[in-house]
């Protein structure tokens, strides 16, 4: 069965808009678990635009499921992973100016560095995943470098429509099979929402989907009315 990893970065985005203490992603991780999340994902970015170091440490102490730490392959992040000891690390490319992660890792150019980098994590019993585009080349490099998992980038699938989307779906299916055949566990994510998730969830041997933005967006849609009612009732009761 395909499981669900809930990415809570966007909860932290709302907090950081005011640089205050609410909403606290740690508290919302608890709610995500109540709703059935199988793991909690956070991306600790170099610029700390949403998730903060404190969130990652507290999540590791408090969540009941698994912690998936998304990060760039930098020495700074390696030191943090060494201290936090998340269940999984997903390595992602990171550019300061991007709004969100734009593409998969370029494994070919960084093979030696990455092999050494993930060796450090594997020695600590942390499973390591590579966020890659659904391409044979990237799958083979992932295996060669020593990753345990790949996370296939579904951003393109999410953006396309009609026949183009169908073709991208076939690429994702083929990539899942290829990766499985060489012993990699396959996750997928980026841009998945309530309309497009089903076809990806039904890919054979799809292990876990990581979904963030659409879940947080829906939480606002289903929760805002109640929140306004509560505020209105406080004002009225004066």
**Catalytic residue ranges:** 43, 70, 190
> What x-and-dash track marks residues 5-24 binding ligand PXP by CB under 6 A?
--x-x---------------
CB of 126 to ligand PXP, least distance (A): 16
Helix, coil or strand: residue 69: strand
Among 74, 77, 110, 73, which Cα is nearest to 92's?
73
Helix, coil or strand: residue 211: strand
Cα–Cα dist 43/72, whole Å: 9
Count Cβ atoms below 10 Å from residue 138 Cβ, excluding itself: 22
CB of 230 to ligand PXP, least distance (A): 28
**Which residue, 100 or 227, is less far from ligand PXP as judged by CB?**
100
Stretch that binds ligand PXP, among 12-20, 79-87, 163-171, 211-219 (CB under 6 A): 211-219
> What x-and-dash track marks residues 75-114 binding ligand PXP by CB under 6 A?
---------------x-x-------xx-------------
Q: Does 138 bind ligand PXP (CB under 6 A)?
A: no
Q: What are the φ and ψ backbone dihedral angles of 162, each rounded to 5 degrees? A: 55, -135
> What x-and-dash track marks residues 59-78 binding ligand PXP by CB under 6 A?
-----------x--------
Among 180, 179, 168, 172, which Cα is nearest to 201's?
172
């Amino acid at each position: 069965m395909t499981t669900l990893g809930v990415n809570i970065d966007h909860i932290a985005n709302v907090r950081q808009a005011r640089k205050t203490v609410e909403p606290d992603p740690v508290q919302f991780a608890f709610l995500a678990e109540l709703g059935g999340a199988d793991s909690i994902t956070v991306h600790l970015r170099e610029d700390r635009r949403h998730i903060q170091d404190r969130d990652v440490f507290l999540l590791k102490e408090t969540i009941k499921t698994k912690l998936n730490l998304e990060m760039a392959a930098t020495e700074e992040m390696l030191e943090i992973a060494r201290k936090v000891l998340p269940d999984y690390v997903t390595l992602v490319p990171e550019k300061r100016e991007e709004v969100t992660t734009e593409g998969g890792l370029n494994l070919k150019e960084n093979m030696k560095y990455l092999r050494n980098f993930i060796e450090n994590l594997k020695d600590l019993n942390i499973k390591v995943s590579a966020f890659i585009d659904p391409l044979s080349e990237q799958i083979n490099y992932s295996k060669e470098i020593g990753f345990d998992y790949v996370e296939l980038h579904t951003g393109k699938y999410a953006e396309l429509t009609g026949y183009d989307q169908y073709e991208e779906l076939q690429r994702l299916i083929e990539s899942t099979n290829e990766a499985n055949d060489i012993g990699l566990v396959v996750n997928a994510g980026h841009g998945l929402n309530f309309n497009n998730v089903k076809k990806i969830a039904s890919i054979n041997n799809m292990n876990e989907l990581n979904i963030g933005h659409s879940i947080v967006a829906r939480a606002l849609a289903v929760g805002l009315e109640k929140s306004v009612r509560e505020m209105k009732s406080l004002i009225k009761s004066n």
